[in-house]
Structure 1
Amino acid sequence: MKPIQLISPVDGRVYAERMPLSRDAAEAAVARAKAAQKGWAARPLEERIALVKAGVKILNDMKDVVVEELAWQMGRPTRFGGEYGGVNARTDYMSEIAAESLAPKVIEDSNAFRRYLAREPVGVVFIVAPWNYPYLTTINTLVPALIAGNTVILKHASQTLLVGERLAEAFHAGGVPQDVFQNVVLDHATTEHLIGAKSFGFVNFTGSVGGGAAIERAAAGTFTGLGLELGGKDPGYVRADANLDAAVDTLMDGAMYNAGQCCCGIERIYVHESLYDAFVEKAVAWVKGLTLGNPFDAATTIGPMANARFAKVVRDQIAEAVAMGAKPMIDPSHFPANDGGAYLAPQILTNVNHKMRVMMEESFGPVVGIMKVKDDAEAIALMNDSPYGLTASIWTQDYDTAAAIGAQIETGTIFMNRADYLDPALCWTGCKDTGRGTSLSYLGFLSLTRPKSYHLKKV
């Protein structure tokens, strides 16, 4: 068995390495989680919430070390801090709605019958977390799963090995028992074995389409509940009545923040012909205002991609598009740190079409294609011409117009005049190759519990 290595994108060195658990050790971890689950679920809901919130508070106290580790692990500039805004907001909201979301729904309570629908935990929840927002994506499932009375086993991505350790450290210090929340290091074979052995009541996976398909194959025939968030190719549409400056600022930030490594980042933009030239001009100026460099430099606004091989995918997509007639609007020499490795100059492409991979396949990097459209119908057709469906951003002055267009778009979330955002009160979901399942909102609790009907009669 080989160690799992974390190669830092900052300087290419091995930043951390861990040995994966053997199959026997992994099965023992699952057994401990199963043994601990009923006792954890028997605790009062208020106590579970308090222990979870205590763990998140301790995680907040780790901010300085967490921010530094994130920069080393996946390249995010330290100036942007950690992911604490979202971590705290999601924890607070799911805690606030827990009692109502998990309460029995009473159908009848009379002298003759008591009939109601209850929710009970699914048992052991397995989280397979990604590296791009390693704390946020884990919290989305970890917090409601624990609150609902489940135990949790977390397997983090190799690119962010230390994140799971920090989460476990914080939650254990806050009072969550060690067997209730376990961080483990697993290879793919052991991961698939555990899923196939019916080890879990629910599996939440965030990652690639191929990874999601592997999870589904491993779970085939087990009837295990799955939540699969498999990325996207999220569009923005700028209508003729849009606020141009706001659209440029938000959409370009959505395309370039975190070096474009956002599940719901903007990867393609459609602009009404009346605003197209002005939008492109302003977008180019916006991107030229970025500073590519070492994430520990206070001036850096865009750091390296998490791995040189991820950057190669984006470079190949750009080169192929240019060979097919796309026009690159940014001279890479404007960004001296562009090194052919993990440090990648951001790019805007015009004269693009849907025959190009950069407009159809997930890029997950700092590149965006911009196309001119004549009307809503053309924009809708282009937005739907994608294997993915996570979010779509519509820029207009009218709620009703945005809703009417949104109703025609095959996606999980419709934004109006914002992008690349997750509201914990709204369901995080997708369609098509983006996957299936729900997280956050009251529906997030429904995914992590099972219904049980009670039909009680007096005689």
Structure 2
Amino acid sequence: MPIASVNPATGETLKTFEAIGPEVIEERLAAAHAAFRTFRTTSFAERSRLLKRAAALLEEDHDDIARTMTCEMGKPLAAAEAEAAKCVKAMRWYADHAERLLADEYPAEDDVLDSGAARARVHYRPLGVVLAVMPWNFPLWQVVRFAAPALMAGNTGLLKHASNVPQTALYLGDLFHRAGFPDGCFQTLLIGSGAVEGVLRDPRVAAATLTGSEPAGRSVASIAGDEVKKTVLELGGSDPYVVMPSADVDKAARTAVTARVQNNGQSCIAAKRFIVHEDVYDTFTERFAARMEALTVGDPLERSTDVGPLATEQGRTDLEELVDDAVRLGARAMCGAGRPGDQPHGWFYLPTVLTGITPEMRIHQEEAFGPVATVYRVADLEEAVSVANDSPFGLSSNVWTRDEGEMERFVRDIEAGGVFFNGMTASHPAMPFGGVKRSGYGRELSGHGIKEFCNTTTVWTAA
């Protein structure tokens, strides 16, 4: 079955690749398992040297890989360049900090003695071969934020990337090879989704991580559970963006545009539901809609473009159906709600702001994966929290308030893996990232992320 790289701005097929067969899959599984046996014993200094070399190579390749990402999945070129730079930063951060993050931990002396030990410690060891099933929306970053900590911990990796970004997937495998990582340490598997189960069930695979849709997460979690293998899942998000009366409303409206249309609106952590206190609702909504309508939609390779195409034709169809359903049931489109007339080719959709959302509309509960915002009017903090939590997802959240008491309430009551005050959600290598509810479980990044694929080992010596 061919795997195709298709330019979403034109619909043109750029390259096709044949999926690898069972014999090649077996060779790569064997290589990953063999590499782990020796790579796990390398020093942090050696792993750091290799990862920093990969970072340097990525920095050199910055322009080319950014253009590849833009042509494969449609993000504006500036965003692709920023993504590559962010990956370089994360690689260097883990290269510098992994040894400290995985240093042995020592219980209190009284507890050691009470256990009957002369000494005791907690030691972190790598698990083995980790399968990464990754999405197309951040085709470089999603992989690096798994690979950098996993490799620094001494694991080896197998990448099953989204089938519409094969060139980026192959680049990643080549990057770690060129950096000098031993053969088998990190390999790309050009396979379809139907081949994932066989790889995951292989006894040489110790664990899996997936970023993607809820159905994909359910499938991988079910298979891994049947095999009793560790998983980390980062799934969908429908993040709330709450604006309270004490906020800087103009700044909140400006930031809201970026928070909604980043990556052409195709980000799990993009703000999607804008929950605005009635005292500032009209001002915020008018400014937000005006700025959304003013965005330039077009060729993502052009520097003047703010919003490029959706990554797939099906993705645009799904988004159109959500918007059409909402409008049919009474929602008001303040802008957008359709395809741009000046873009006859490609999978473009206009930045859209919908008000008057009611619970019977699909968009109230389903994730809008594209540049579509829903706006809710609320009377007070309690209603804001209630609307924010009225979602099956719980990835992150944004809250605009200057009231310290309100901040504490939102931290206590919002059901999400993060609360970002007076700014938009972003991921950083030093901060744990992940969600609750149907947004998944486990954490990536920071010390929490690097320990997800480690064997936390108690080392106890009798007195």
Q: Same fold (TM over 0.5)?
A: yes
AA at the equivalent of 1:356: M
Taking structure 1 as reference, are residues 270 and 114 closer, same or farther at Cα in structure 2, changes over 3 Å only? same
Counterpart of 1:226 in 2: which secondary structure?
Answer: strand
Alignment-derived partner of residue 241 in structure 2? 236
Q: CA deviation at 1:338?
A: 4.8
AA at the equivalent of 1:436: Y
Is 1:363 equivalent to 2:362 in the alignment? Answer: no
Is 1:96 equivalent to 2:96 in the alignment? Answer: yes
* Cα deviation digits, residues 132-188 of structure 1 (max 9, x gap): 011111111100000000111111111211112112222221111231111111122
Task: Pick from 150, 166, 170 the counterpart of residue 165 of structure 1.
Answer: 170
Alignment of 1:33-112 (within 5 A): 33-82=32-81, 83-107=83-107
Alignment of 1:56-455 (within 5 A): 56-82=55-81, 83-107=83-107, 113-331=118-336, 335-339=340-344, 342-455=347-460
**CA distance, structure 2, for counterparts of residue 332 and residue 115 of structure 1:** 62
Q: Are the equivalent residues in 2 in contact too, given 1:234–1:391 (CA < 8 A)? A: yes
Alignment-derived partner of residue 17 in structure 1? 16
AA at the equivalent of 1:10: A
Q: Are the equivalent residues in 2 in contact too, given 1:353–1:371 (CA < 8 A)? A: no
Which region of structure 1 is more displaced relative to structure 2, 215-224 or 246-255? 215-224
Is 1:3 equivalent to 2:2 in the alignment? Answer: yes
**CA distance, structure 1, for counterparts of residue 382 and residue 106 of structure 2:** 46
**CA distance, structure 2, for counterparts of residue 388 and residue 212 of structure 1:** 13
**CA distance, structure 1, for counterparts of residue 320 and residue 345 of structure 2:** 9
Q: Are the equivalent residues in 1 in contact too, given 2:7–2:14 (CA < 8 A)? A: yes
**CA distance, structure 2, for counterparts of residue 455 and residue 48 of structure 1:** 28
**CA distance, structure 2, for counterparts of residue 96 and residue 64 of structure 1:** 25
Q: Are the equivalent residues in 2 in contact too, given 1:59–1:166 (CA < 8 A)? A: no
Q: What is the number of residues matched between the two proteins? A: 457
Taking structure 1 as reference, are residues 279 and 269 closer, same or farther at Cα in structure 2, changes over 3 Å only? same
* Cα deviation digits, residues 217-270 of structure 1 (max 9, x gap): 222321111011111111100001110011111112111121100110011101
Q: Are the equivalent residues in 1 in contact too, given 2:4–2:13 (CA < 8 A)? A: yes
Q: Are the equivalent residues in 2 in contact too, given 1:122–1:201 (CA < 8 A)? A: yes
AA at the equivalent of 1:324: L
Which region of structure 1 is more displaced relative to structure 2, 83-92 or 168-177? 83-92
Taking structure 1 as reference, are residues 223 and 157 closer, same or farther at Cα in structure 2, changes over 3 Å only? same
AA at the equivalent of 1:87: C
**CA distance, structure 1, for counterparts of residue 156 and residue 49 of structure 2:** 16
Taking structure 1 as reference, are residues 86 and 138 closer, same or farther at Cα in structure 2, changes over 3 Å only? same
Q: CA deviation at 1:96?
A: 3.0
**CA distance, structure 1, for counterparts of residue 24 and residue 315 of structure 2:** 32
AA at the equivalent of 1:54: R
Which region of structure 1 is more displaced relative to structure 2, 193-202 or 297-306? 193-202
**CA distance, structure 2, for counterparts of residue 406 and residue 41 of structure 1:** 39
Which region of structure 1 is more displaced relative to structure 2, 429-438 or 400-409? 400-409
Q: CA deviation at 1:281?
A: 0.9
Which region of structure 1 is more displaced relative to structure 2, 4-13 or 309-318? 4-13
Taking structure 1 as reference, are residues 99 and 331 closer, same or farther at Cα in structure 2, changes over 3 Å only? closer
| Unpaired stretches in structure 1, ≥5 consecutive residues | none
Counterpart of 1:116 in 2: which secondary structure?
Answer: strand
**CA distance, structure 2, for counterparts of residue 400 and residue 91 of structure 1:** 38
CA RMSD between the two structures: 1.9
AA at the equivalent of 1:210: P
Q: CA deviation at 1:331?
A: 4.7
* Cα deviation digits, residues 377-410 of structure 1 (max 9, x gap): 0010111110000011000013442232121011
**CA distance, structure 2, for counterparts of residue 138 and residue 185 of structure 1:** 15
Q: CA deviation at 1:340?
A: 8.2
Q: CA deviation at 1:84?
A: 2.7
AA at the equivalent of 1:13: E
| Unpaired stretches in structure 2, ≥5 consecutive residues | none
Q: Are the equivalent residues in 2 in contact too, given 1:321–1:358 (CA < 8 A)? A: yes
**CA distance, structure 1, for counterparts of residue 341 and residue 117 of structure 2:** 79
Which region of structure 1 is more displaced relative to structure 2, 193-202 or 331-340? 331-340
Q: CA deviation at 1:335?
A: 4.2
